[in-house]
Copies of this chain bind each other. A is one copy, B any other.
Amino acid sequence: MENQSNILKYKHLGIYTQNENVVYMHENCHVCASEGFEALTRIRISTATDSIVASLNVISSNLLLTDEIGLSDAAAKKLNVSPNETLYVSHLEPIKSLSHVRAKIYNQKLDYLAYNEIITDIVQGNYSNIDLTAFITACAGNRMDLDEITYLTKAMIASGMQLHWNKEIVVDKHCIGGLPGNRTTPLVVAIVTAFGLTMPKTSSRAITSPAGTADTMEVFTNVTLSPEKIKEVVHKEGGCIVWGGTAQLSPADDLLIKIEKALDIDSEGQLIASVLSKKAAAGSTHVVIDIPVGETAKMRSTKMAQELQDHMEAIGKEVGLNVKVIITDGSQPVGRGIGPALEAIDILKVLKNEADAPKDLTERSLLLAGELLELSGKVDSGTGYQTAKQVLESGKAYKKFISICKAQGRFSQPVLAHYKNEVRAEKPGVLQVIDNRKIAKLAKLSGAPQSKSAGIHLNVRLGENIEKGQLLYTIYAESKGELNYALEYKNHHDNIITLI
C-alpha cells in the first residue's frame, strides 16, 4: 500500500516518552487523510535503510505542518533521523507474535519459538505499551510453568549481546529487591576478586529506590564504561563494578521492567527470566542470589522465597547456570547509610576494617562472598566464610577495591551533604519496627540518588533500648528545599520507626 503520497519531512519535536515509539502527524496531513489513520493506530515509519513501528498521536495545532512528521525521542533515536529527512509512512502489517500473546491471554502454554518471536519483536520496538502490558499481565499470576519460564529466559538471553570471558568460572551475585542500604555488591566483588575469582559485575541504577549499586559506585569511580573498557578493566583486575546499561544484555528486560514498575507488580516468571537472563548474557557461570525476607521487603514470606529459590535453581540449571539461592533477614535496612555517598562511607569502613564499620553489612558481605567461593569449588565446603573473612581482614579486599576503581577511571572519597536534620526519639522504648519502604521514601525525598550525598544515616537497630531524645537517624540533603521536603514527609508519617 506504500506509494509516493506517504512521504513526510521529519521535524524534531523533543518529546521524551521514555521507551515508547510515538509518531506525530498533522490532522490535515495527506497521509492521515488518505490512510484513515486515527490515534492509537500503530504504523510503520521508514527511512531509506531502516524502519520502526510507532503509535500515532494526531496534531491539530501548528506544531507540525501538514507535510511534516514528528517522532518521540526514543523513536527518533532508533531510526537515527535528522531534521528535514524524508520518512515513509505505511500501514502496519499485523505483528505475528501478538497472536502468541493472545494465545497466552487465553491460557495456552507457549513454546520456545513463540517466546522467542515475542521477545524479538519487543526488542525491535514493535510492541506498544498496551502490547507489553498485555504480555506481562497474561504471564503473571503463575500463568507460566517452569518450561515456559525457561523458554522466556532463553529467549531473553538470545535477544541481546552476550559477553564471553574465556574463563572456566565466572561468578556473579544478585539481590532480589527492596532493602535500603543493602550495598554488599562492591564488598563481595572486592573480596572474591582479591581471592582470585573473576567477577565482572554489571549493576543497575535506582529505578524507584534511593540508590542502586551503580549510583553508589559512581561516588567512588566512573561506572558508564564502554564494553571494550569493561573488558580491559576485568582483564587487568579480575572484576569490575559498572553500570549495566551500556552492555545491552537482555534488552527486552529493561522494557518489561518499566511496565512492571508502572503496574507495581512482580510476576515470578518475569522476575526469574529477568535475573537469570542478565546473568547468563553477562557470561556468568556461578551465581549466588540473595533473597531478603521481611514485612516491608519485596519478598514478604519465607514460603514464597523458598518457592522462588526452588524455581530459580531449577531454571538456572536449564539455562546452564550454577545457581545458589540464600534466604536472608529482610526486616530492617542494612548498614547505616541510605543514599549513594552514605552507603559509600559504610563500604569504606568495612573495607578498611574500621572499628565502627556496620557489622550487619560486613556479615552479609562475608556470607555472600563465602557462598560464592564455595559454589566456585575453589574452597572446600564449609570454609567459604572463613576464607572471605581472611581476605577482608588482611586488607587485600580494600587494596583490590581501590585498584578496580582506579582501573575504571578514578577513586574519589565520599562526602556528606551540607544540610542535615537529626531526628530523635520523642519517648523511650524498645525499637520494634523500621519500615523499609518509608525510610527509603524519606531518603528519596531528601534528594537521593540524583543528589549523591543526600539520604539517611541510621543510628539504631531493631530490638535496641532507646532513651528519650536519643538520635534515631540524620537526614542529609544538598538543598534546604529538599531537606524541607523530607521533613514534611517525616512529620506526616509517625510510623517510619516504631518504638513500643
Q: Which residues of A contact B (CB under 8 A)?
A: 1, 5, 12-18, 24, 27, 34, 36, 38-40, 42, 57-63, 72-73, 98, 102, 105-107, 128-131, 133-134, 136-138, 140-142, 258-259, 261-265, 444, 450, 481-482, 485, 488-489
Q: Determine whether the beta carbon of A24 is less than 8 Å from that of B18.
A: no
Q: Determine whether the beta carbon of B141 is less than 8 Å from that of A61.
A: no
Which residues in B have their C-beta under 8 angstroms from that of A40? 18, 258, 261-262
CA distance A75 to B205 in the complex (A): 32
A61-B12, A102-B264, A105-B140 known; A259+B130 contact, CB < 8 A:
yes
Q: Determine whether the beta carbon of A130 is less than 8 Å from that of B133.
A: yes
Which residues in B have their C-beta under 8 angstroms from that of A141? 105-107, 138
What are 26 A-B contacts with C-beta separation under 8 Å? A1-B488, A1-B489, A13-B61, A13-B63, A14-B62, A15-B57, A15-B59, A15-B63, A16-B27, A16-B57, A18-B40, A34-B481, A40-B258, A40-B261, A60-B73, A102-B264, A102-B265, A106-B140, A106-B142, A107-B141, A107-B142, A130-B259, A130-B262, A130-B263, A133-B133, A134-B265
7 closest Cβ pairs, A-B complex: A14-B61, A18-B39, A137-B137, A133-B133, A14-B60, A16-B58, A106-B141
CA distance A18 to B5 in the complex (A): 25
Which residues in B have their C-beta under 8 angstroms from that of A61? 12-15
CA distance A142 to B106 in the complex (A): 8
Chain B residue nearest to A40 (CB atoms) is B18
Which residues in B have their C-beta under 8 angstroms from that of A59? 14-16
A61-B14, A264-B102 known; A450+B129 contact, CB < 8 A:
no
Q: Of B39, B63, B133, which contacts A17 at CB under 8 A?
A: B39
CA distance A20 to B40 in the complex (A): 9
Chain B residue nearest to A263 (CB atoms) is B134
CA distance A136 to B265 in the complex (A): 16
CA distance A137 to B134 in the complex (A): 6
Q: Determine whether the beta carbon of A131 is less than 8 Å from that of B263.
A: yes
CA distance A265 to B131 in the complex (A): 11
Q: Determine whether the beta carbon of A450 is less than 8 Å from that of B36.
A: yes
Q: Determine whether the beta carbon of A1 is less than 8 Å from that of B485.
A: yes
CA distance A129 to B20 in the complex (A): 12
Q: Determine whether the beta carbon of B39 is less than 8 Å from that of A16.
A: yes
CA distance A58 to B16 in the complex (A): 5
Chain B residue nearest to A492 (CB atoms) is B1
Q: By CB atoms of chain B within 10 A, which of A105, A261, A450 has the most?
A: A105
Which residues in B have their C-beta under 8 angstroms from that of A42? 262
Which residues in B have their C-beta under 8 angstroms from that of A488? 1
How distant is A289 from chain B, measured CB to nearest CB, in Å?
A: 23
How distant is A76 from chain B, measured CB to nearest CB, in Å?
A: 11
Q: By CB atoms of chain B within 10 A, which of A1, A133, A136, A482 has the most?
A: A133
Given A15-B61, A16-B60, A105-B141, 10 more A-B residue pairs with CB atoms under 8 Å apart are A15-B63, A17-B57, A18-B38, A40-B258, A40-B261, A98-B263, A105-B140, A106-B142, A129-B130, A130-B262
How distant is A116 from chain B, measured CB to nearest CB, in Å?
A: 21
CA distance A79 to B40 in the complex (A): 22
CA distance A16 to B196 in the complex (A): 59
CA distance A50 to B119 in the complex (A): 42
CA distance A381 to B291 in the complex (A): 68
Which residues in B have their C-beta under 8 angstroms from that of A264? 98, 102
Which residues in B have their C-beta under 8 angstroms from that of A15? 24, 57-61, 63
How distant is A398 from chain B, measured CB to nearest CB, in Å?
A: 34
CA distance A250 to B407 in the complex (A): 63
